[in-house]
């Protein structure tokens, strides 16, 4: 995992975690904002809507592929410096994106911004866990992860509103402004993170061990389960539930708020028993999808199901991260960049399969697709619960990183 910071006061630790939360909020908003202003970007850059949609794909590929690569390349660097450098480059790339009129340049920038996002996430987890005691590792991860959840619930709708008023470039400038504030806060409030002793090659032996890959597959299938249905939730709400217009935003906001609450509470569950949380959360997702299929025509019940679904899904995200880090042992610093890559591949796969389902059988078929995936999720969550962290006997700075699995 990460070397531990010398004891900080609770107030100082909370300020550091709040700064990392803000950083994740900014990057999460920057990632998803494109969706809300896609039509305006397409018109301004003179490309089709599908072509503009590849901006989302480029970011996801950058995060999934470039994030782990940048994490490996910077593994020996002090994490506060990495965070500062990543935010600075994020600001520069978004400024160039705002100023460019060339779609190809924008596409390349989105890949680079995605890679920077993956690096920031890994470094933020490292910094967050270094300022809390080992028994609060899950809570720290939950706070950091919740930045993305809050971005989904609030940042994207607000950014879209700004985009509709000031244009897509105005919404991206708002992201840049918040990123500048985050950069200043990072310089002032994030303490130096003690360096780990192992190099990338040594860590890779543990980070890509079969036990870690098993949980990464769980990460993949969890997100495929949700996004097979969630990607097409608006058509479902329109055709099955019978709602439209402003009410759609209310239902989506309910899901978004639930994900934020789930991220915060999920950190505490991860500290208590991460493996058990994964099983319970996976069952919660399956039950939510099953109920959604049968009560899809009853609006108020659908709203409750969306709340339960969001809570179930995001309450297990911190546990997925904790399990990967602890099962990687001395390779935890490298491994902590991998869950987000697995999640993005799962999102892409789930959306792809859900697309076939809705084309073939309608919106309800996407829920059934997610439900089928959820059965696999429960089985994999149960199977991975028996996995244990590696026993590393040699005494070295690298082995000092290993952290016992939460009880």
**pLDDT band at residue 396 using 50, 70 and 90 as cut-offs:** very low
Q: Do 199-386 and 1-197 have the same topology in CATH? A: yes
Per-residue pLDDT tens digits for 122-148: 899 889 888 888 788 888 888 888 888
**pLDDT band at residue 234 using 50, 70 and 90 as cut-offs:** confident
3-state secondary structure of 362: coil
Q: How many whole angstroms separate alpha carbon 389 and alpha carbon 361? A: 44
Q: How many whole angstroms separate alpha carbon 236 and alpha carbon 367? A: 9
Asked if 113 contacts 59 with a C-beta cutoff of 8 angstroms, the reply is yes
Sequence-distant (6+) residues with CB within 8 A of 393 are none
H helices present in 131-209, as ranges: 137-150, 156-166, 168-189, 200-207
What pLDDT is recorded for position 406?
Answer: 44
> Other CB atoms closer than 10 Å to residue 48's CB: what's the count?
9
Q: How many whole angstroms separate alpha carbon 118 and alpha carbon 124? A: 10
CATH classification of 1-197 is 1.20.1250.20, yes or no? yes
Q: How many whole angstroms separate alpha carbon 267 and alpha carbon 294? A: 31
Task: Name the one residue in this structure whose structure tokens are 């866990």.
Answer: 129
Q: What is the largest CA-CA distance in the chain?
A: 63
Per-residue pLDDT tens digits for 337-354: 788 889 888 888 888 888
Q: How many whole angstroms separate alpha carbon 380 and alpha carbon 187? A: 41
With a cut of 70, say whether residue 156 has pLDDT above it. no
Per-residue pLDDT tens digits for 188-212: 999 987 666 556 677 888 888 999 9
With a cut of 90, say whether residue 81 has pLDDT above it. yes
Asked if 191 contacts 131 with a C-beta cutoff of 8 angstroms, the reply is yes
Q: How many whole angstroms separate alpha carbon 377 and alpha carbon 191? A: 38
Q: Select from 1.20.1250.20, 2.40.50.140, 3.90.1300.10, 1.10.10.410 the CATH code of 199-386.
A: 1.20.1250.20
Please give the full DSSP string across 41-56, using - where no structure is assigned: HHHHHT--HHHHHHHH
What pLDDT is recorded for position 369?
Answer: 94
> Other CB atoms closer than 10 Å to residue 386's CB: what's the count?
9
Lowest average pLDDT, out of 5-9, 24-28, 247-251, 303-307, goes to 5-9
Sequence-distant (6+) residues with CB within 8 A of 337 are 67, 68, 71, 118, 119, 121, 122
Show me where the domains of the chain are located. 1-197, 199-386
Q: How many whole angstroms separate alpha carbon 122 and alpha carbon 335? A: 9
């Amino acid at each position: 995992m990460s070397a531990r910071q010398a004891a900080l006061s609770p107030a100082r630790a909370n300020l550091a975690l709040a700064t990392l939360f803000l950083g994740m909020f900014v990057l999460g908003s920057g990632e998803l904002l494109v969706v809300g202003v896609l039509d305006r970007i397409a018109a301004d850059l003179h490309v089709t809507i599908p072509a503009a949609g590849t901006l989302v794909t480029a970011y996801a590929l950058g995060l999934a592929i470039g994030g782990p690569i940048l994490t490996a390349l910077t593994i020996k660097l002090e994490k506060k410096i990495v965070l500062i450098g990543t935010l600075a480059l994020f600001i520069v790339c978004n400024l160039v994106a705002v100023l460019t009129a060339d779609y190809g340049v924008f596409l390349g920038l989105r890949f680079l911004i995605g890679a920077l996002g993956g690096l920031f996430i890994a470094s933020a987890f490292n910094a967050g866990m270094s300022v809390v005691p080992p028994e609060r590792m899950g809570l720290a991860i939950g706070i950091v992860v919740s930045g993305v959840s809050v971005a989904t619930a609030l940042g994207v709708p607000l950014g879209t509103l700004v985009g509709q008023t000031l244009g897509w470039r105005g919404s991206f400038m708002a992201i840049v402004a918040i990123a500048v504030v985050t950069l200043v806060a990072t310089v002032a409030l994030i303490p130096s993170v003690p360096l780990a002793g192992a190099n990338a090659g040594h860590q890779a032996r543990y980070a890509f061990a079969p036990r870690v890959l098993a949980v990464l597959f769980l990460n993949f299938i969890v997100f495929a389960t949700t996004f097979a249905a969630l990607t097409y939730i608006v058509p479902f709400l329109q055709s099955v539930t019978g709602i439209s217009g402003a009410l759609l935003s209310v239902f989506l906001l309910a899901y978004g708020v639930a994900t934020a609450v789930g991220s915060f509470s999920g950190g505490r569950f991860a500290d208590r028993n991460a493996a058990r949380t994964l099983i319970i959360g996976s069952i919660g997702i399956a039950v939510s999808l099953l109920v959604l299929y049968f009560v899809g025509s009853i609006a108020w019940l659908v709203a409750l199901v969306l709340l339960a679904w969001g809570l179930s899904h995001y309450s297990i995200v911190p546990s997925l991260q904790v399990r990967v880090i602890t099962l990687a042992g001395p390779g935890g610093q490298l491994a902590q960049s991998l869950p987000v890559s697995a999640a993005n591949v799962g999102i892409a796969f789930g959306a792809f399969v859900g697309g076939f389902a809705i084309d073939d059988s309608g919106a309800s078929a996407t829920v059934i697709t997610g439900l089928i995936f959820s059965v696999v999720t429960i089985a994999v969550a149960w199977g991975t619960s028996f996995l244990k962290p590696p026993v590393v006997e040699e005494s070295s700075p690298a082995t000092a990183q290993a952290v016992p699995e939460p009880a």
